[in-house]
Structure 1
Amino acid sequence: MGVTSPNAGEPVSGIDVPDVSDVPVVEVDEAPPPAHRWGFGAFLFVEAVLLVSAALVGALLVQGGSADSLPVHDVLIGTITPTVIAALTALAITKVRGNGPLADLRLSWRWDDVKLGLKFGVLGLVCTSVGVFVWTKAVGEQNSSSAISALVEDKPMSVSAAIVMFLYLWLLGPICEEIIYRGLLWGATERLEWNKEKWGRFAAFVLSTAVFAMSHLEPLRTPLLLVISIPIGLARLVTGRLLGSIVAHQMNNFLPALAILLTALGVVGY
């Protein structure tokens, strides 16, 4: 004998079944990431890897010569390799001592984060343009150039080398730096017991912004780098995830990277 399913709201064996079709769905907030076992020691180790690898790569490339006489492809290797090695080391630490980069560094793909990162990136471009203008007036044209600009200045560069430099400065470099500073350092700061209740992500924002600016080892440009890095850190602070700051950093680096590309190709002069 077949069994007929009753409609919602009709009694079943003397029990009223409520109609839930009109009950609103309540969105549950994203669960916090699992606790990881790495902290400031991991960040300091990655910074040491960055500095040591930069020194070793530089020594291997120079080999008795001088940095001023390095060919362009050696400049590319010396610029890109240490940062990539340090970022890969940071990812490995999250895998070995934590839950992996997706959970520990809050690295996930969300269109909302991309859109917000683009907005903060535009803000960063405005801050960078104003900051560079003011800074150039204050210290002079010769002292306002970045270290990378100084490295490629007056060096003949092939189209392929110029494109590689452009893609690194625009896309790859920001990913690596965000993994180290707004990823590893940020996570280490949030992990502190005294920080969880009182300051939270704001302390991570302040510390990562300051350390990021100083880590470029350009003392004269540190105030300018602080201004540049604030919108990038705000993207990480507002979204709570790393993708927003990566996109903001890439957006902020686009015009400077394009300027170096056009200069290297001889489209514009120094």
Structure 2
Amino acid sequence: MKCSRIFVVAAIALLLLGSCGTKKVVENVNVPDESVQTKDMRMLRKVHGNAVNEMFVTSKVKVNVGMGSKDISLTGSLKMKRDDVIRIQLVAFGLVEVGQLEITKDYILVVDRMHKRYMKADYSKLSFLKNSGLGFYSLQSLFWNELFLPGHNKVTDGELGSFDTSGQGNDIVISYRRGGMACRWTAGQTDGLIRKTSVEYGAQAGKKSELVWGYSDFKPFGGGKYPTGNKVTLVIPGKKELRLEINLRNVDNDRKWDTRMKIPAKYKEVNTDEILPLLMKF
């Protein structure tokens, strides 16, 4: 079924969001001794302080996936527990569950409901990702609309000096660069809300991987504001551009759900090294 195939491709693309900006992750980022100017530090603390103060984020979602000339719309749900799990369930035609994607600190699980199969592997077992240093926490930060430092579980106040800042009209641009990787966050100077995150990897023209994640439609939640509109563009050399829109509604902090999926015994486990490269061709 076309919907099922596109779901799995979209699920893999979501995984790549975390990998394109975290290649050769270094666990200990050297924080500069020099402090940024007081005004810039106040701004950085404002942006950093906008992080949602909730352990759970749950929501109904509408997802539009575009790849090349293909577009498809799906509905479903997003369920996240901070520092533990990100789960997306997708439904076609409002009735048929297509599949689920579960990302934890220890493994990645893609369940294809239509064909009763699943793929489960720790990060090192995915041949096309094991050298890219995919990080759960950087991917989590993209979903939670936060600053991040590759290789760190979270950004502490003492590490804010790792970022550079510059003014751009009514916005502030926060940047971080290490080797061939460059990250930029664009936030409002007045409210400190992150409205765009971009990640580039690669130094040569035409060979850069680029992720742009735009945030909009902020709603009160968790003592602050949380974006219910997400527009993602992912460009990887040699692959079709991926366009992904995730719109949330009825954002809540529901705790009454199992944080781990149960795989039916009749489902067949698929070898990731064999199937993932094939799926990426679509």
Length-normalised TM-score, structure 2: 0.29
Higher RCO (CA 8 Å, separation ≥ 6 residues) = 1
Q: Point out the structure with the larger strand share.
A: 2
Q: Larger % of helix: which?
A: 1
TM-score, length-scaled by structure 1? 0.30
